[in-house]
Amino acid sequence: MPIASLLVPVYNRESLIERTLMSTLAQTIADIEIVVVDNRSTDRTYEVCASIAARDRRIVLHRNETNVGPVRNWIECANRATAPYSKIVFSDDLIAPNYLERTLPHLIAKDTGFVFTPIICGEEEWKGVLHYRNFLDDCRFTSDAFIRMAVRMGGYITPVSPGAALFRTADLRKHIRTELPGVEGYDFAATGAGVDWLIYGMTALHYKHVAYVCDPLVYFRQHPGSISIRNENDLVPKGYALAQQWFISRVQGI
């Protein structure tokens, strides 16, 4: 069994997916699997993935029979993972070669829910705006403190995208949601906005600590095809507002 699964949900990324997969294969820890789930792409994405998978047995490639939407494809990736720890790597993003080497040791502690790092967001690889550089050194802090920061200043000092952290696979399976009880009129499964942030919040509720690695080990690519960049009809901020209200209504003392 591999020690970590890198989960790559992908749809119509024929021009970007090779760079993403190369960054996962470059990890300094070799005992890994890369779970790639193509969401029935209409371009050559699947063929590009298949060509790379044929050269490296660490890639486990699957193609959905139908397009299940972005969030359900995250779930499909998590369900296919065989390692105890998983990291979502979106199909337009990159991770540093030492990502797992730096983050995995922090999850040995059973009371630590996840480990996140700063990220670089920009149009040119590994250049752009630095986010979540909150501390000068690697550290752990209480989950209560993380939740307070996430609710009060989420997106500014704590991450919202699950692509910024390493989780236990079981927690991803448990906390990726496509709908929220009592919330109607919004399709979380279509945008991922809000339910991505809830993966952090709901996981933190079940652990005493959260870990942080101070170096930016993840690159988020800005481009017109990104869901967060498109933000059609302001659906992205609406999703976060609804999810945060739902979370606060269930957690006392924030």
Q: What φ, ψ does residue 30 adopt, rounded to 5°?
A: -85, -25
Average pLDDT, stretch 183-197? 95
| 119 inside domain | yes
Residue 232 has pLDDT above 70, yes or no: no
| 185 inside domain | yes
Convert the pLDDT of each residue in 103-148 to its tens digit: 999 999 999 999 999 999 999 999 999 999 989 999 999 999 999 9
- Residue whose C-alpha is closest to residue 226's, from 16, 3, 5: 16
What is the residue range of 12's domain?
4-248
Residue 194 has pLDDT above 80, yes or no: yes
| 253 inside domain | no
Convert the pLDDT of each residue in 36-91 to its tens digit: 999 999 999 999 999 999 999 999 999 999 999 999 999 999 999 999 999 999 99
Residue owning tokens 């480990």: 115
Structure tokens at 188: 């979380």
| 103 inside domain | yes
Number of domains in the chain: 1
| 85 inside domain | yes
| 231 inside domain | yes
DSSP H or E run through 100: helix 99-103
The DSSP result for 120-179, as a single string, is EEEEETTEEEEE----SS-EEEEHHHHHHHHHHHBTTTB--SGGGEEEEHHHHHHH--S-
For residue 110, give the 3-state DSSP assignment. Answer: coil
| 232 inside domain | yes
| 254 inside domain | no
Residue 241 has pLDDT above 60, yes or no: yes
Q: Which residues have CB under 8 Å from 102's CB, separation 6+?
A: 117, 213, 215, 217
119: domain CATH number? 3.90.550.10
Burial class (CB in 10 A: 0-12, 13-18, 19+), 155: middle
How would residue 229 be classed by pLDDT, with cut points 50, 70 and 90?
very low
Q: What is the mean pLDDT of the chain?
A: 94
- Residue whose C-alpha is closest to residue 189's, from 44, 47, 39, 52: 39
